[in-house]
Every structure is written in C-alpha cells, then in structure tokens.
Amino acid sequence: MKLTGVELRQIRLPLVAPFRTSFATQTERTALLLRAVGTESEGWGECVAMAEPRYSSEYVASCADVLSRHLIPELARYESLDATTVAPALEPFRGHRMAKAALEMAVLDAELRASGVPLARELGAVRDRVPCGVSVGIMDSVPELLEAVAGYLDDGYVRIKLKIEPGWDIEPVRAVRQHFGDDLLLQVDANAAYTLADARHLAGLDPFGLLLIEQPLEEEDILGHAQLAKLISTPVCLDESITSARAAAAAITLGACSIVNIKPGRVGGYLEARRIHDVCVAHGVPVWCGGMLETGIGRAANLALAALPGFTLPGDTSASDRFYRTDITDPFVLSDGHLPVPTGPGLGIEPLPEVLDEFTVTTEWIAL
C-alpha cells in the first residue's frame, strides 16, 4: 500500500463523571485520532496520549507535532508500506511511542481492511469475547467509593481496580474488601505515587488478598520494584515501566514484576504489544490489557489484543458508558461482564461521521 496522506483530528469528549488518579483529575478526554489514507483503503488510529504530560512525557499536542513534522513525512519515502515496516521506518526518531503507535495502528487498520482480515485474527486471538474489569478513581469518601463499586458490580464487571495514592490506600481497600467479600477480584493502581521508603506501609495491603499492585514506584525505578517485590506479598504488576518487549524481559528477569499490564498505545503499537505478550507467556507471567480512556476506536483494538491466550487476567477493557455518554463509534455494551471481540475487517468499527464532527476540535491534513 502507498500512503497518500494522513488526517490528524483532535476531539474532546466529556466524561460521565470526573476520573481522579494520583496524577490528575480528568473531566473530559482530549484525544488525537488519525485517518491514514492509502491507495487501496483507509484506516483509523487512536493516540492514547493525554492533554497534559502527567501520566507520561507525551501529550496530545506533542504527538500531533511529532507526527506532522517527522513521523508521517518519513513514511512518504515508502512506495509500498505495510504495518510491519512502520516501526522500523520510524526507529531513527527517538521515543514518542504513543505517537508512533497511533500511526502504526492506522496503517494496520487500512492494510487489514484492504485484505478483509480482522485485527483479532491477525494478532492471534483465541477468544470471541473478553471478561472486563473496571478502574475506579479516587473518591472524596469511603461511602462514595462503596456506592461506585456497587454500581459497577451491578453492571457486571468481573474485577475492580482501585486507584490509590498516599492517604487513600489501606482504608478504602479494607472497606471494599469487607463490604464485598473475599471472592471479589480486587487490585490497586498507584500510578507511581510511592517510593521504596513506603514499603512497610504498602505491606499493609498484604492481608487483603489483592490480585496485584500496579506501578507503585516511579517509571524508571526497576530496581526499586524488584526490592519492593521482596518486601510485600501482593504481586507487583508494572504498567508505566513496560515500554517495550525488551523492557518487559528485563523487568521480569530482575524480579521487578510478576504480572504485566500491556497498553499497546504506550509501547509503540499492537505489534510490539504482541511481542510483550509473547515474552511474558514465555516467562510464565500473566498479562492483562490496560486502558487509557479510549474511544470506541482504541477500545475495539484493545479487545482484539485482550483475546490473545496470555491475557489471563481481566483488563481495563470496560464498556463505552464507563467513561462516555456518547462515544464516537457504536458503543461497546457489557453483556454478562464481557465485551465482544470485533469480527469485521481491521478494527471492525468506524467513527460515526456526524458524532465525530460534533466532538472535533481541530483537523489537519498531511499529504504525502
């Protein structure tokens, strides 16, 4: 396929409720969408970067900038492009994995649409639906948290993830465990809010039978995670630190994690995400699919990935209405705690043009 151009579109979607993590409170999602236009077909990509560089150093405007100035023009040199050539072609540009992932995703979707192959089949999926967990933000009070968790359990979610930070950790976890019982699949996510000096405090979570604690320490602190893993009995899962298959192999080998959260948009794309999956399977390390408040576009692709055999824990692949009253695609609706893996060619879903236009803030066309 020869690319003729790429459209960059920034959209802004209101959230159904504020979502508070240890690094920010979000009330809306600003997202960057890509539409890659090739000689035979078109494909969609979604960049997972947030409006501000709080979760990672990348952010929407930085991604739009590097895509339009460097990454997209670089692909003009390729007369015949397929998704496997995108990452090697962009390799000379350092970092910017979220931007690269979005571009590879759009090319991959275009290519698979042209050949009629669903993304799930291309990646090696073994399931036609996936069990879904939900991520619950930091709340002002424990009663408010219990009410939110009860609502999600009523919806059918099979696993609860609580966002934690210093001052909001042991007590909310204890309350949820006591209120909902020992059978609830429960895990926590610190988004790098602690240091190794908090090890004894974090060991206070040990009695609650958590599935895992996600990214307790800062992104670069692999050694610290390895030390922490020896001091607490809750399994350590890494998210932000896992930037590539190589990083995953190193973290596992060093004992820094025993579970991995794979976010395709954070690791440079679905092809690298599959390599991380393969590395983890080879090491006997369970993986699950993370979420970044994706629209239906990114959600569709995450469901395809989450259907691979090594994804043995429920992911943050929640239904569209977890975050959005109106999504830009047909919504993904939870059924018996599961979402269906899309079966159409490519992502198997497309934005609804009128809705997309309604939420669009800017568009830019980069011709190749």
Residues assigned a catalytic role: 163, 263
Beta carbon of residue 323, minimum distance to ligand NPG (angstroms, whole number): 7
Beta carbon of residue 21, minimum distance to ligand NPG (angstroms, whole number): 6
Q: Which part of the chain contacts ligand NPG (CB under 6 A), choosing from 96-104, 228-236, 291-299, 351-359?
A: 291-299
Contact string 12-51 vs ligand NPG (x = CB under 6 A): ---------x----------------------------x-
Measure Cα distances from 249 to 135, 213, 219, 267, 305 in Å.
26, 19, 15, 13, 19
Contact string 143-182 vs ligand NPG (x = CB under 6 A): ----------------------------------------
Residue 109 makes CB contacts below 8 A (sequence gap 6+) with 36, 43, 44, 45, 119, 301, 346, 347
Beta-strand (E) ranges in 133-266? Answer: 133-136, 159-163, 186-189, 213-214, 236-238, 259-262
| Cα 260 to Cα 61: distance, rounded to the nearest angstrom | 28
Asked whether position 293 contacts ligand NPG by CB under 6 A, the answer is: yes
Asked whether position 346 contacts ligand NPG by CB under 6 A, the answer is: no
Of 42, 46, 111, 189, the one binding ligand NPG (CB under 6 A) is: 189
Chain centre distance of CA 347: 16
Asked whether position 291 contacts ligand NPG by CB under 6 A, the answer is: yes
Of 45, 131, 265, 290, the one binding ligand NPG (CB under 6 A) is: 290
Burial class (CB in 10 A: 0-12, 13-18, 19+), 78: middle
The answer to whether 60 touches 31, Cβ cutoff 8 Å, is yes
DSSP code, position 149: H
The tokens for 285 are: 């390390």
**191 or 243, CB closer to ligand NPG?**
191
**232 or 293, CB closer to ligand NPG?**
293
Asked whether position 234 contacts ligand NPG by CB under 6 A, the answer is: no
**199 or 293, CB closer to ligand NPG?**
293
Radius of gyration in angstroms for the set of CA atoms belonging to the chain, rounded to a whole number: 20
Residue 352 makes CB contacts below 8 A (sequence gap 6+) with 328, 329, 330
Asked whether position 239 contacts ligand NPG by CB under 6 A, the answer is: yes
Beta carbon of residue 41, minimum distance to ligand NPG (angstroms, whole number): 28
Asked whether position 193 contacts ligand NPG by CB under 6 A, the answer is: no
**316 or 350, CB closer to ligand NPG?**
316
Q: Which of residues 63-122 bind ligand NPG (CB under 6 A)?
A: none
**69 or 325, CB closer to ligand NPG?**
325
Nearest residue to the partner ligand NPG, using Cβ: 291
**165 or 278, CB closer to ligand NPG?**
165
Contact string 113-132 vs ligand NPG (x = CB under 6 A): --------------------
Beta carbon of residue 366, minimum distance to ligand NPG (angstroms, whole number): 26
- Residue 128 CB coordination number (10 Å): 12
- Give ∠ CA 111-6-91 in degrees, rounded to 5: 75
Q: Which part of the chain contacts ligand NPG (CB under 6 A), choosing from 38-46, 230-238, 290-298, 328-336?
A: 290-298
**72 or 187, CB closer to ligand NPG?**
187
DSSP code, position 45: E
Burial class (CB in 10 A: 0-12, 13-18, 19+), 77: exposed
The tokens for 109 are: 């979707």
**Continuous segment of H or E residues that includes residue 8:** strand 3-20
Asked whether position 316 contacts ligand NPG by CB under 6 A, the answer is: yes
Q: Give the side-chain half-sphere CA count within 13 A for 68.
A: 15
DSSP code, position 313: S
Number of residues in contact with ligand NPG under rule CB under 6 A: 14
Contacts with ligand NPG by CB under 6 A lie at: 21, 50, 55, 135, 189, 191, 239, 290-294, 316, 318
